[in-house]
């Protein structure tokens, strides 16, 4: 065999080997998990599900934890996170800024497709009603959720504080932001007087530390919030999307998988879309409208223009809701 033929054979063999090796490598998938509690606790709860995801899809799955919700959104924005469990508010941010798309949502352990924002105090506290809290707010400490938290910030910001025209960041003795777990434990340990948290965060506490959960009193509960979405990047390849959709929509059928989901306070996943974010978008605009109406620094013309723009966007969302029925 001459030198040219030998080089051709070697090159062909190397090319075949490299192609086979490349095809043998599973696609690496980074799954983002929002910071509702400590990373260690989240890893313990999520790892069995992530192991199943890797095993059943053949994808190489790693978890991405960030200290706040925005970190997961930014991870998706820069293609470092490919799929994520989010709240509705952070899901909106991912859809609007990070090429995200809702494809599924969780079902709560009791079968409902939603949860609540709640205001809690210690069971021994003299605070028993919202009026008690509002009357004494100048002497109270309050915990709130991440700025991108639906149940810890957006929903109580409108339905609780907004309805009473209260700015908790300014009118309480001290206000702080933390994840649900931290806020719950701060109330339990009497480091905070009250806090806004997610109802499923309390359900998780009942599983992990029932004696701590027993120290809580619920003072206020929001209207039902659509359950948490699963969001993927829209530019994921079709095969990966199919694997993800098939896995999540089928998960939770046997006893072992049910136990894994129970630890997360869920019972299943169901298909969803960006339409589930519409109620939260309406809520965000309604809160923005209230702020504009109350802004004495705006001229009458500027206020009218801003309100007209907001009303137009609200009308557009209402039409979307009507057409989806």
CATH fit for domain 8-113+227-275, picks 3.40.190.10, 1.10.443.10, 3.20.20.70, 2.30.30.30: 3.40.190.10
Q: How far apart are CA 146 and CA 90, in angstroms?
A: 10
pLDDT attached to residue 291: 83
101 neighbors 231 (Cβ within 8 angstroms)? yes
Domain 114-225 has CATH 3.40.190.10: yes
Do the domains at 8-113+227-275 and 114-225 have one common CATH topology? yes
- Conformation bin of residue 144: beta by default, left when phi > 0, alpha when psi is -120 to 50: beta
Q: Hey, is 267 helix, strand or coil?
A: strand
- Digit-by-digit pLDDT tens for the chain (325 residues) are 555 554 444 444 444 444 444 444 558 999 999 999 999 999 999 999 999 999 999 999 999 999 999 999 999 999 999 999 999 999 999 999 999 999 999 999 999 999 999 999 999 999 999 999 999 999 999 999 999 999 999 999 989 998 898 999 999 999 999 999 999 999 999 999 999 999 999 999 999 999 999 999 999 999 999 999 999 999 999 999 999 999 999 999 999 999 999 999 999 999 999 999 998 898 888 888 888 888 889 898 988 888 899 888 888 887 876 776 5
Structural domain boundaries in the chain: 8-113+227-275, 114-225, 278-324
Q: Quick one: CATH architecture of 278-324?
A: Up-down Bundle (1.20)
Q: Is the pTM of this model over 0.85?
A: no
**Secondary structure (DSSP) of 39-74:** HHHHHHHHHHHHHHHHHHH--EEEEEE-SSHHHHHH
CA triplet 311, 314, 317: central angle to 5 degrees? 155
pLDDT attached to residue 283: 85
Q: How far apart are CA 231 and CA 148, in angstroms?
A: 15
């Amino acid at each position: 065999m001459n030198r040219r033929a030998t080089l051709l054979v070697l090159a062909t063999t190397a090319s075949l080997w490299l192609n086979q090796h490349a095809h043998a490598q599973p696609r690496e998938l980074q799954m983002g998990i929002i910071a509702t509690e400590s990373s260690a606790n989240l890893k313990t709860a999520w790892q069995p599900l992530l192991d199943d995801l890797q095993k059943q899809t053949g994808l190489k799955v790693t978890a991405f934890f960030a200290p706040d919700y925005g970190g997961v959104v930014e991870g998706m924005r820069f293609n470092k996170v490919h799929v994520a469990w989010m709240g509705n508010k952070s899901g909106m941010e991912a859809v609007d800024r990070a090429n995200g798309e809702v494809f599924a949502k969780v079902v709560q352990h009791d079968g409902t497709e939603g949860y609540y924002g709640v205001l809690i105090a210690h069971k021994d506290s003299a605070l028993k009603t919202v009026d008690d809290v509002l009357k004494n707010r100048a002497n109270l400490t309050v915990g709130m959720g991440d700025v991108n938290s639906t149940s810890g910030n957006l929903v109580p910001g409108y339905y609780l504080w907004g309805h009473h025209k209260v700015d908790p960041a300014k009118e309480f003795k001290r206000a702080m932001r933390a994840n649900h777990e931290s806020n719950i434990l701060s109330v339990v340990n009497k480091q905070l007087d009250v806090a806004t948290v997610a109802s499923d965060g309390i359900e998780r506490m009942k599983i992990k530390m029932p004696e701590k959960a027993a120290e809580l009193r619920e003072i206020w509960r929001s209207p039902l919030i659509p359950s948490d979405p699963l969001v993927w990047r829209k530019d994921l390849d079709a095969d990966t999307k199919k694997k993800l959709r098939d896995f999540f929509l089928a998960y939770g059928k046997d006893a072992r998988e049910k136990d894994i989901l129970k630890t997360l306070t869920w019972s299943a996943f169901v298909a969803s879309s960006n339409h589930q974010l519409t109620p939260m978008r309406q809520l965000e605009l309604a809160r923005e409208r209230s702020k504009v109406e109350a802004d004495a620094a705006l001229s009458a013309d500027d206020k009218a223009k801003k309100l007209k723009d907001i009303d137009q966007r609200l009308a557009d969302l209402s039409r979307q809701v009507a057409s989806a029925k």
